[in-house]
Amino acid sequence: MSSSTPDAGESRHDDPPTAPVGRRRKQRVSMADVARLAGVSSQTVSRVANGHSSVVESTRDQVLEAMRTLGYRPNSAARALKYGEFRTIGVILFSLSSTGNSRTLEAIATHAAAEGYAITLIPVAARTQDHVQGAFTRLGELAVDAVIVIMEAHLLDTVSFTLPPDVHVVMVDSDAGDRYSVVDTDQADGARQAVQHLLNLGHRTVWHVAGPAESFAAERRTAAWRKVLESAGREVPPVRRGDWSSESGYRIGLELADEPSCTAVFAANDQMAVGLLRAFGEKGRRVPADVSVVGFDDVPGTAAWFVPPLTTVHQDFAEVGRRCVQGALDQIRGGRHPAPGTTLVPTRLVVRQSTAPPPTGSE
């Protein structure tokens, strides 16, 4: 906008390699530049750069000196082109606003970095078919060796056929274990522990605030809750369905507070549990004296600090991330997709102060 070139078409031949003023591209030093300065061939520079065999001490020093002088940095595109791999793993996800996703991503990034792999983020703006489709399409053009997909399996089902068939894929929390390599938190066992804990305290049954229907994780937590109650021969109260938000938990809590038989609630995540706490508080139902509440996730620095501190199911997101990277690397290095299957990461109940035996006389 400032000078005379309205188009990019012609700024092409006018940069002598000595002038560092280059306007657009190519201000970067290449091996050839280093080689010229050091008075060797670029192959020798390559050998020095990669610590390869047999370069005489004096030559090596000259090359290193030239590299330092010019500030040489290898061009990863060229290397990727040559080797046919990018040393990069793509991560597709909907949102980073959930603690689980961002912690999983962090673990993925850390472990990938340790293996010399970079992480490329492929955000999906909205949970619509179009956007997901778009992400998968873009995926094909991206410089990634494998992809880790973090999203709801139910939505995935409808579009999974568009996944490029020759891309290595690891899915998180999905029911596609028959087709893909899946890393999964043991939702069922976590839910089981939560419900069992409440029954052990003496509650006759446990109410449930479920996550949204389209979430696979929510569905499994609900299924496990139901199963425990049925195995124990307890009454199964009607499911109240929220949308993961504190608001929905609050709204449902206001209703549950009016159910005198409700002495224990298992919420499908911490956020909704928090809404419950507030609703019960406003309705004069004391937690845990009158009602016990269990959450799911163990949001760090938060779940422990509510009033009262929340009993909840702890998820090991770091471990999930670690196994994702492991799975992706196995596929990349193994060359072919390993047997589809699901890896379960254990969960554990953290008992704090939002649970207690039911009020005496309420039997």
Cα 265 to the chain's mean position, in Å? 28
Record the tokens describing residue 206, joined without a space. 């446990």
How many residues interact with DNA (rule CB under 7 A)?
Answer: 32
Our CA dihedral for 316, 320, 323, 329, rounded to 10 degrees, sits at: -150
Footprint of a copy of itself on 128-157 (CB under 8 A): 138, 140-143
Which residue, 218 or 228, is less far from a copy of itself as judged by CB? Answer: 218
Q: Which of 16, 51, 71, 233 binds a copy of itself (CB under 8 A)?
A: 71
CA dist 328 and 183 (Å) reads 11
Half-sphere exposure of 6 (CA within 13 A, CB side): 0
Q: Out of DNA, a copy of itself, none, which partner does residue 200 contact, by CB within 5 to 8 A per kind?
A: none
The reply on whether position 344 binds a copy of itself by CB under 8 A is no
Which one of residues 12, 23, 68, 127 is an interface residue with a copy of itself (CB under 8 A)?
23
Nearer to a copy of itself by Cβ, of 121 and 213: the residue is 121
Sheet holding 292-297: strands in order across?
A: 240-241, 207-210, 264-267, 292-297, 311-315, 347-350
Residues 247-276 that bind a copy of itself (CB under 8 A): 250, 271, 274-275
Look up residue 357 and give its DSSP letter. Answer: P
Q: Find the DSSP H helices in the chain.
A: 31-38, 42-49, 57-70, 76-83, 99-114, 129-141, 153-159, 187-200, 216-231, 246-256, 270-282, 317-334
Site for DNA, rule CB under 7 A:
9, 12, 26, 28, 30-32, 39-44, 46-47, 49-50, 52-56, 58-59, 72, 74-75, 78-79, 81-82, 84
Site for a copy of itself, rule CB under 8 A:
1, 23-28, 71, 73-78, 80-81, 83-86, 88, 95-97, 102-103, 105-106, 109-110, 113, 118-123, 125, 138, 140-143, 164-166, 245-246, 250, 271, 274-275, 277-278, 281, 299-302, 304-307, 334-336
